[in-house]
Protein backbone atom coordinates (compact mmCIF):
# COMPACT_ATOMS: atom_id res chain seq x y z
CA UNK A 1 0.00 0.00 0.00
CA UNK A 2 1.20 3.53 -0.73
CA UNK A 3 1.09 5.61 2.47
CA UNK A 4 1.31 9.39 2.59
CA UNK A 5 2.57 10.34 6.07
CA UNK A 6 2.27 14.00 7.04
CA UNK A 7 4.54 15.03 9.92
CA UNK A 8 3.21 18.00 11.86
CA UNK A 9 5.47 20.92 12.67
CA UNK A 10 4.90 20.14 16.35
CA UNK A 11 5.99 16.54 15.79
CA UNK A 12 9.36 17.80 14.55
CA UNK A 13 9.64 20.59 17.10
CA UNK A 14 7.63 19.74 20.18
CA UNK A 15 5.73 22.31 22.17
CA UNK A 16 8.01 24.13 24.58
CA UNK A 17 11.24 22.88 23.00
CA UNK A 18 13.91 25.35 21.88
CA UNK A 19 14.09 25.88 18.11
CA UNK A 20 17.57 24.40 17.83
CA UNK A 21 19.04 22.17 15.15
CA UNK A 22 19.73 19.53 17.81
CA UNK A 23 16.11 19.40 18.99
CA UNK A 24 14.80 19.15 15.43
CA UNK A 25 17.24 16.40 14.50
CA UNK A 26 16.35 14.37 17.61
CA UNK A 27 12.66 14.59 16.72
CA UNK A 28 13.40 13.76 13.07
CA UNK A 29 15.23 10.63 14.25
CA UNK A 30 12.15 9.57 16.26
CA UNK A 31 9.96 10.22 13.22
CA UNK A 32 12.31 8.24 10.98
CA UNK A 33 12.20 5.26 13.32
CA UNK A 34 8.39 5.19 13.13
CA UNK A 35 8.29 5.72 9.36
CA UNK A 36 10.97 3.10 8.70
CA UNK A 37 8.64 0.57 10.34
CA UNK A 38 6.03 1.27 7.66
CA UNK A 39 8.61 0.66 4.92
CA UNK A 40 9.74 -2.59 6.54
CA UNK A 41 6.11 -3.69 6.65
CA UNK A 42 6.14 -3.49 2.85
CA UNK A 43 4.41 -0.14 2.29
CA UNK A 44 5.44 2.49 -0.22
CA UNK A 45 6.01 5.80 1.55
CA UNK A 46 5.66 9.48 0.72
CA UNK A 47 6.48 11.90 3.55
CA UNK A 48 5.28 15.47 3.90
CA UNK A 49 5.99 17.78 6.82
CA UNK A 50 4.99 21.03 8.45
CA UNK A 51 7.19 24.10 8.67
CA UNK A 52 5.24 26.61 10.78
CA UNK A 53 7.82 27.09 13.55
CA UNK A 54 10.75 27.07 11.12
CA UNK A 55 9.36 29.42 8.47
CA UNK A 56 8.32 31.86 11.21
CA UNK A 57 11.82 31.81 12.67
CA UNK A 58 13.39 32.48 9.26
CA UNK A 59 10.93 35.35 8.75
CA UNK A 60 12.03 36.83 12.08
CA UNK A 61 15.68 36.55 11.08
CA UNK A 62 14.95 38.16 7.71
CA UNK A 63 13.06 41.01 9.39
CA UNK A 64 16.16 41.85 11.45
CA UNK A 65 17.98 42.98 8.30
CA UNK A 66 17.31 45.84 5.93
CA UNK A 67 13.76 45.95 4.50
CA UNK A 68 14.98 45.54 0.93
CA UNK A 69 16.73 42.28 1.94
CA UNK A 70 13.61 40.63 3.37
CA UNK A 71 12.69 37.39 1.63
CA UNK A 72 9.04 36.57 0.77
CA UNK A 73 7.20 33.63 2.32
CA UNK A 74 7.42 31.45 -0.80
CA UNK A 75 11.23 31.71 -0.75
CA UNK A 76 11.31 31.06 2.99
CA UNK A 77 9.04 28.07 2.41
CA UNK A 78 11.48 26.68 -0.15
CA UNK A 79 14.34 27.17 2.32
CA UNK A 80 12.52 25.26 5.05
CA UNK A 81 11.49 22.51 2.63
CA UNK A 82 15.13 21.91 1.79
CA UNK A 83 16.37 22.27 5.36
CA UNK A 84 13.78 20.01 7.03
CA UNK A 85 13.75 17.58 4.11
CA UNK A 86 17.51 17.14 4.38
CA UNK A 87 17.31 16.19 8.06
CA UNK A 88 14.37 13.79 7.56
CA UNK A 89 16.05 12.27 4.50
CA UNK A 90 19.29 11.60 6.34
CA UNK A 91 17.57 10.15 9.40
CA UNK A 92 15.34 7.94 7.24
CA UNK A 93 18.37 6.66 5.31
CA UNK A 94 20.04 5.81 8.60
CA UNK A 95 16.91 4.16 10.03
CA UNK A 96 16.55 2.03 6.89
CA UNK A 97 20.22 1.05 6.89
CA UNK A 98 20.59 2.68 3.46
CA UNK A 99 18.60 -0.21 1.97
CA UNK A 100 16.19 2.11 0.11
CA UNK A 101 16.81 5.36 -1.75
CA UNK A 102 15.31 8.43 -0.09
CA UNK A 103 14.81 11.64 -2.06
CA UNK A 104 13.65 15.15 -1.10
CA UNK A 105 11.84 17.13 -3.81
CA UNK A 106 11.22 20.88 -3.64
CA UNK A 107 7.54 20.95 -4.57
CA UNK A 108 5.53 23.83 -5.96
CA UNK A 109 1.81 23.87 -5.14
CA UNK A 110 -0.60 26.09 -7.05
CA UNK A 111 -3.14 28.22 -5.19
CA UNK A 112 -5.78 30.64 -6.44
CA UNK A 113 -4.50 34.22 -6.20
CA UNK A 114 -8.12 35.28 -5.51
CA UNK A 115 -8.55 32.82 -2.61
CA UNK A 116 -10.39 34.65 0.23
CA UNK A 117 -7.82 33.20 2.67
CA UNK A 118 -5.44 35.99 1.64
CA UNK A 119 -7.76 38.42 3.46
CA UNK A 120 -8.19 36.16 6.54
CA UNK A 121 -4.84 34.90 7.89
CA UNK A 122 -5.21 31.73 10.00
CA UNK A 123 -1.98 29.72 9.69
CA UNK A 124 0.25 30.01 12.82
CA UNK A 125 3.97 30.44 12.10
CA UNK A 126 6.98 31.13 14.29
CA UNK A 127 7.35 30.95 18.06
CA UNK A 128 4.66 31.56 20.65
CA UNK A 129 4.49 34.79 22.66
CA UNK A 130 2.56 36.13 25.64
CA UNK A 131 -0.48 38.06 24.38
CA UNK A 132 0.90 41.52 25.21
CA UNK A 133 4.19 40.85 23.41
CA UNK A 134 2.39 39.35 20.40
CA UNK A 135 0.14 42.39 20.08
CA UNK A 136 3.12 44.74 20.38
CA UNK A 137 4.96 42.84 17.63
CA UNK A 138 1.83 42.94 15.48
CA UNK A 139 1.66 46.73 15.78
CA UNK A 140 5.37 47.16 15.08
CA UNK A 141 5.67 44.73 12.18
CA UNK A 142 2.21 44.79 10.67
CA UNK A 143 1.47 41.17 11.58
CA UNK A 144 -1.82 39.45 12.22
CA UNK A 145 -1.69 37.47 15.48
CA UNK A 146 -4.04 34.96 17.12
CA UNK A 147 -4.18 32.58 20.13
CA UNK A 148 -2.55 29.18 19.59
CA UNK A 149 -2.30 26.67 22.41
CA UNK A 150 -1.09 28.43 25.53
CA UNK A 151 0.25 31.52 23.77
CA UNK A 152 -0.13 33.78 20.78
CA UNK A 153 1.54 33.43 17.36
CA UNK A 154 1.78 35.27 14.10
CA UNK A 155 -0.77 34.03 11.54
CA UNK A 156 -0.43 34.25 7.75
CA UNK A 157 -2.71 33.47 4.79
CA UNK A 158 -3.30 29.78 4.11
CA UNK A 159 -5.01 29.39 0.71
CA UNK A 160 -6.29 26.00 -0.43
CA UNK A 161 -3.95 23.92 -2.59
CA UNK A 162 -5.36 23.43 -6.09
CA UNK A 163 -2.70 21.66 -8.14
CA UNK A 164 0.69 19.98 -7.72
CA UNK A 165 2.61 20.66 -10.95
CA UNK A 166 5.56 18.53 -9.76
CA UNK A 167 3.38 15.41 -9.41
CA UNK A 168 5.05 13.69 -12.39
CA UNK A 169 8.43 13.95 -10.68
CA UNK A 170 6.97 12.47 -7.46
CA UNK A 171 5.54 9.54 -9.43
CA UNK A 172 8.86 8.91 -11.18
CA UNK A 173 10.65 8.70 -7.84
CA UNK A 174 8.04 6.32 -6.40
CA UNK A 175 8.24 4.11 -9.48
CA UNK A 176 12.01 4.01 -9.00
CA UNK A 177 11.54 2.55 -5.51
CA UNK A 178 12.37 5.72 -3.58
CA UNK A 179 10.89 6.95 -0.34
CA UNK A 180 9.88 10.49 -1.32
CA UNK A 181 9.86 13.58 0.90
CA UNK A 182 7.84 16.28 -0.83
CA UNK A 183 5.31 19.11 -0.41
CA UNK A 184 7.10 20.16 2.77
CA UNK A 185 5.34 22.96 4.60
CA UNK A 186 2.38 22.41 2.27
CA UNK A 187 4.64 23.05 -0.71
CA UNK A 188 6.00 26.28 -2.14
CA UNK A 189 2.96 28.50 -2.74
CA UNK A 190 2.67 29.68 -6.33
CA UNK A 191 -0.08 31.09 -8.54
CA UNK A 192 -0.56 30.94 -12.30
CA UNK A 193 -0.33 34.10 -14.37
CA UNK A 194 -2.71 34.48 -17.34
CA UNK A 195 0.06 33.23 -19.63
CA UNK A 196 0.44 30.06 -17.53
CA UNK A 197 3.72 31.05 -15.89
CA UNK A 198 4.10 30.34 -12.16
CA UNK A 199 4.93 33.02 -9.62
CA UNK A 200 5.44 32.78 -5.85
CA UNK A 201 2.86 34.25 -3.46
CA UNK A 202 2.93 35.39 0.17
CA UNK A 203 1.35 32.48 2.01
CA UNK A 204 1.98 29.21 3.85
CA UNK A 205 -0.20 26.36 2.58
CA UNK A 206 -1.56 24.02 5.22
CA UNK A 207 0.44 20.82 4.85
CA UNK A 208 -2.50 18.57 5.79
CA UNK A 209 -4.65 19.95 2.97
CA UNK A 210 -1.72 19.63 0.57
CA UNK A 211 -1.09 16.09 1.81
CA UNK A 212 -4.72 15.11 1.21
CA UNK A 213 -4.52 16.48 -2.33
CA UNK A 214 -1.25 14.60 -2.86
CA UNK A 215 -2.74 11.34 -1.51
CA UNK A 216 -5.77 11.63 -3.79
CA UNK A 217 -3.76 12.43 -6.89
CA UNK A 218 -1.25 9.63 -6.22
CA UNK A 219 -4.01 7.10 -5.54
CA UNK A 220 -2.56 6.36 -2.08
CA UNK A 221 -4.17 3.74 0.14
CA UNK A 222 -3.69 5.67 3.38
CA UNK A 223 -3.10 9.19 4.68
CA UNK A 224 -1.57 9.46 8.16
CA UNK A 225 -1.37 12.86 9.85
CA UNK A 226 1.20 12.46 12.61
CA UNK A 227 1.54 14.99 15.39
CA UNK A 228 2.25 15.22 19.13
CA UNK A 229 -1.26 14.42 20.42
CA UNK A 230 -3.07 11.09 20.73
CA UNK A 231 -5.71 11.95 18.13
CA UNK A 232 -8.85 14.03 17.82
CA UNK A 233 -10.07 14.76 21.33
CA UNK A 234 -13.49 15.73 22.56
CA UNK A 235 -13.02 18.35 25.29
CA UNK A 236 -9.31 18.78 24.50
CA UNK A 237 -7.43 20.47 27.34
CA UNK A 238 -10.08 19.65 29.96
CA UNK A 239 -10.24 16.87 32.58
CA UNK A 240 -13.11 15.33 30.60
CA UNK A 241 -11.08 14.99 27.39
CA UNK A 242 -11.56 11.71 25.54
CA UNK A 243 -10.23 10.32 22.29
CA UNK A 244 -12.61 10.07 19.35
CA UNK A 245 -11.32 6.77 17.99
CA UNK A 246 -13.53 6.66 14.90
CA UNK A 247 -15.46 9.28 12.98
CA UNK A 248 -17.59 9.16 9.88
CA UNK A 249 -17.00 11.94 7.33
CA UNK A 250 -20.27 13.59 8.42
CA UNK A 251 -19.26 13.44 12.09
CA UNK A 252 -15.87 14.90 11.23
CA UNK A 253 -17.51 17.78 9.36
CA UNK A 254 -19.70 18.58 12.37
CA UNK A 255 -16.79 19.06 14.80
CA UNK A 256 -15.91 22.60 15.90
CA UNK A 257 -12.09 22.63 15.83
CA UNK A 258 -9.35 25.30 15.74
CA UNK A 259 -8.77 26.52 12.15
CA UNK A 260 -4.98 26.70 12.48
CA UNK A 261 -4.24 23.25 13.93
CA UNK A 262 -6.62 20.26 14.31
CA UNK A 263 -9.31 21.72 12.06
CA UNK A 264 -7.35 21.27 8.79
CA UNK A 265 -6.25 17.76 9.85
CA UNK A 266 -9.83 16.59 10.31
CA UNK A 267 -10.92 18.34 7.11
CA UNK A 268 -8.08 16.66 5.19
CA UNK A 269 -8.96 13.28 6.75
CA UNK A 270 -12.59 13.73 5.74
CA UNK A 271 -11.65 14.57 2.14
CA UNK A 272 -9.38 11.54 1.96
CA UNK A 273 -12.01 9.23 3.45
CA UNK A 274 -14.60 10.41 0.93
CA UNK A 275 -12.11 9.49 -1.81
CA UNK A 276 -11.79 5.95 -0.39
CA UNK A 277 -8.46 6.55 1.36
CA UNK A 278 -7.92 5.34 4.94
CA UNK A 279 -7.28 8.48 7.00
CA UNK A 280 -5.72 8.51 10.46
CA UNK A 281 -4.60 11.16 12.95
CA UNK A 282 -2.38 10.53 15.96
CA UNK A 283 1.04 10.46 17.55
CA UNK A 284 4.09 10.17 15.35
CA UNK A 285 5.36 7.16 17.31
CA UNK A 286 2.05 5.34 16.70
CA UNK A 287 2.22 5.43 12.88
CA UNK A 288 2.01 1.66 12.37
CA UNK A 289 -0.65 1.26 15.08
CA UNK A 290 -2.79 4.01 13.52
CA UNK A 291 -2.53 2.32 10.12
CA UNK A 292 -3.65 -0.94 11.77
CA UNK A 293 -6.55 0.79 13.57
CA UNK A 294 -5.09 0.28 17.06
CA UNK A 295 -4.35 3.93 17.92
CA UNK A 296 -5.27 7.48 17.02
CA UNK A 297 -8.42 8.63 15.26
CA UNK A 298 -9.63 6.99 12.06
CA UNK A 299 -12.00 8.79 9.70
CA UNK A 300 -13.93 6.41 7.47
CA UNK A 301 -17.51 5.74 6.38
CA UNK A 302 -19.47 3.70 8.95
CA UNK A 303 -18.85 3.38 12.68
CA UNK A 304 -19.98 5.90 15.25
CA UNK A 305 -18.43 8.87 16.97
CA UNK A 306 -15.77 7.60 19.34
CA UNK A 307 -17.72 4.44 19.95
CA UNK A 308 -16.33 1.79 17.63
CA UNK A 309 -14.05 -0.74 19.34
CA UNK A 310 -10.43 -1.12 18.27
CA UNK A 311 -9.60 -4.20 16.25
CA UNK A 312 -8.78 -6.95 18.73
CA UNK A 313 -10.20 -5.01 21.65
Distances (CA, A) of 168 to 88, 172, 181, 218, 224: 22, 6, 14, 10, 22
173 Cβ neighbours under 8 A, 6+ residues apart: 103, 105, 180
Query: Which one of the listed residues 9, 56, 187, 296 is annotated catalytic?
Result: 9
Catalytic status, residue 168: no
Catalytic status, residue 94: no
Catalytic status, residue 16: no
Q: What angle do CA 37, 38, 39 make, to 5 degrees?
A: 90
Element (H, E) at 204: none
Catalytic status, residue 207: yes
Question: Phi and psi of 18, rounded to 5°?
Answer: -70, 150
Query: Which one of the listed residues 10, 186, 187, 296 is annotated catalytic?
Result: 10
Query: Which one of the listed residues 52, 85, 123, 126 is annotated catalytic?
Result: 123
219: left (phi over 0), alpha (psi -120 to 50) or beta: left
Catalytic status, residue 265: yes
Pick from 175, 181, 137: nearest CA to 155? 137
> Whole-angstrom Cα distance, residue 58 to residue 133?
19
Q: What is the DSSP letter of 147?
A: E
Query: Which one of the listed residues 50, 265, 282, 293 is annotated catalytic?
Result: 265
Query: Which one of the listed residues 27, 128, 187, 207 is annotated catalytic?
Result: 207
Instruction: Name the β-bridge partners of 11.
Output: none
Residues recognised as catalytic: 9-10, 123, 207, 265
Amino acid sequence: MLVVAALGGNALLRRGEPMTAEAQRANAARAAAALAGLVRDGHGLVVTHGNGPQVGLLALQAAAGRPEEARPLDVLGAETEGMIGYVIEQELENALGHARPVATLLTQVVVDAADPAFARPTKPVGPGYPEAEARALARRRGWAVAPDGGGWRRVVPSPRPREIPDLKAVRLLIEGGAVVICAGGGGIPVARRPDGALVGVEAVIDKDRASALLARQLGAGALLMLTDVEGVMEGFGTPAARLLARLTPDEAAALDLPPGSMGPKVEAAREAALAGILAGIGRMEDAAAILAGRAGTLVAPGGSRGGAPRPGA
